[in-house]
Amino acid sequence: MKNLRFLIIPFIVCVSACNWFKSPPEIGKVLSEHFKNKIYKDFDTVAYDSVFAKTMDSLSIGFTNPKTIKAFYESNKNQPKLVTKFYTTGELDSLTVFLQRSEMHGFNPKIFKTEKIKSLLNQLSANQFKHVDESYPIIAQLELLSANAYINYNNYLKYGVINPRNIFSRYYIKVRRPDSAGMVGLLSSENILDTLKAVQPKSEQYKALQAAYLNSNNETEKRILLLNMERFRWKTPEMGENYVQVNIPDFKLTWFDNADTVISMKVCVGGKRESGYEEKLKAFAKSGNLDDKPKNHETPLLYSKINSIQANPVWNIPVSIAQSEIYWMARKDRYYLSNSNINVYYKGKLINEPNTINWNKYSRDKLPFKFKQGSGGGNALGKFKFIFDNSSSIYLHDTNNKNGFNLANRAISHGCVRVEKPLEFAEKLVGDSYTYDKLRAEVDLPPIDSTHVKWYKKRMAAKADTTKSFQLKPAWFGPKKQVPLIITYITAWAQNDKIEYRPDVYGMDEKLWTAMKKFR
């Protein structure tokens, strides 16, 4: 009996080492039961791991997010999670249907390897393997290609295929982009079909553009629609129900409230950069000569909140304008500065007699002066400036030159946005008659409310008093609440049951199209 015990123990160890009692992994159980095929009970995890690793190395070169996908499978011991959970339920087949239909969003199904995934599904479904190891490369490819396609499809629809901040130099709107946590969440989904349905864009603007895209036979028109569908996929900041939009190609400012238009007016925006700008910029970088510096006054795209209104504003003239315009005008006409109500400062101190400055002593690229245009009728900013935080020193403002609003192409400013109806805009911002009448008094306009007439009369009396020196100064007003503002660039959108189209004034459609071509 004792000798028999010593014989049994080595036998059990040997059997255990040879995996005789080891059950197949989950994928083996699922496929064995689904196909009623016993070969999958012999599924060898070690052998499959080796095939999976080689497949990962060969396929991940073409993946958009290879590090995230590799990390996910490493943390899950290379298990074919998607095939295990979604092959027998038919959800991988549903994935291919969505990928095939990606044309309705302007994508080419080839970018998702759709036909290859369908072929792999067919090979697995044919159930023709004589040995289980013949299935390993099919399962590994199906798993990884499905994972990559699933992530990309979701990301493209949810965030867009292009990060605008990577291709546009003056795009300062923060956009949310895919992150690894979100992608891992996708690969850990419990229901692929629900996720694919949920990610379909729900914006009314997007759906209207998409319908027009699917109904159009004009390639130029389809291209414009596709570009703007992409813009509506970008995850820009939530504007809320009440916000102001400046659309550069439309040369319009619109105040929206629950999708209804509260006010709308023409605007003038920054002029288009010089043709051949990139090459000229390289030449300037080499020479350092301001005469070689190309002009770029394009209004940046940005998101902020309007936080204050300045009546009778002072214009702090930017260095670029001082160098390119003020310097030459002052040299040409010694009285230009005083006649234009422009003060000159040297090391922070006001120069009382700017007409005496000998401009020949100074090169315009090293001007030691700062220039400010005082409040008044000749001020380039007009009577109102609408201020919001941004890194480009951009603001909305009135103008003393109203002729620009009669032009079809109103890309004529130095970068700031001139508004056609500043008083109407200010009234909406301040939001109450008391503050609005105070504001009107500052620009010599009578009040709307007759009980406020005394402010107006007091101001007019002060201006008329010749015994005292009346000095026009800026006055600050706060809006009733800070109003979100987005300066954007949309060349096609739905309005009144039709699609409106506008010219690509800055050439941004061209640049976006170049970036998107690989997805077509």
Which residues have a catalytic role annotated? Answer: 397, 416
Radius of gyration (Cα) for the chain, nearest Å?
Answer: 34
- Do 232 and 201 meet the contact criterion of CB atoms below 8 Å apart? yes
- How many Å apart are CA 364 and CA 60, to the nearest integer? 55
Distance CA 506, CA 272 (A): 6
Give the contacts of 186 (CB within 8 A, at least 6 positions apart): 150, 151, 154, 195
Q: How far is CA 218 from CA 105, 129, 193, 514, in A?
A: 16, 49, 33, 19
Query: Beta-carbon neighbour count of residue 109 at 10 Å?
Result: 19
Least Cα distance to 65 among 166, 191, 174, 149 occurs for 149
E strand or H helix that includes residue 180 = helix 180-187
Residue type, 471: Q
Tell me how far apart the alpha carbons of residues 460 and 442 are, in angstroms, rounded to a whole number. Answer: 10
User: Is-contact 323 330, C-beta < 8 A?
Assistant: no
SS3 280: helix
Token pair 């951009």: residue: 394
Burial label for 458, CB within 10 Å (0-12, 13-18, 19+), is exposed
CA 281 – CA 298 distance, rounded (Å)? 15
Contact 25, 84 (CB under 8 A): no
Dihedrals phi, psi of 43, to nearest 5 degrees: -55, 120
Strand partners, 247: 252, 488
For residue 147, the surrounding DSSP H or E stretch is helix 136-159
Q: Which residues contact 61 (CB under 8 A, 6 or more apart)?
A: none
CA distance 22 to 18: 9
Residue 509: C-alpha distances to residues 147, 230, 304, 516 (Å): 32, 11, 24, 10
- CA end-to-end span of the chain: 78
| Largest pairwise CA distance in the chain | 130
> CA 337 → CA 190, 201, 208, 255, distances in Å?
71, 55, 53, 37
**What does the alpha-carbon distance between residue 392 and residue 478 come to, in Å, rounded to a whole number?**
22
Q: Angle formed by the axes of helices 136-159 and 114-126, to 10°? A: 140
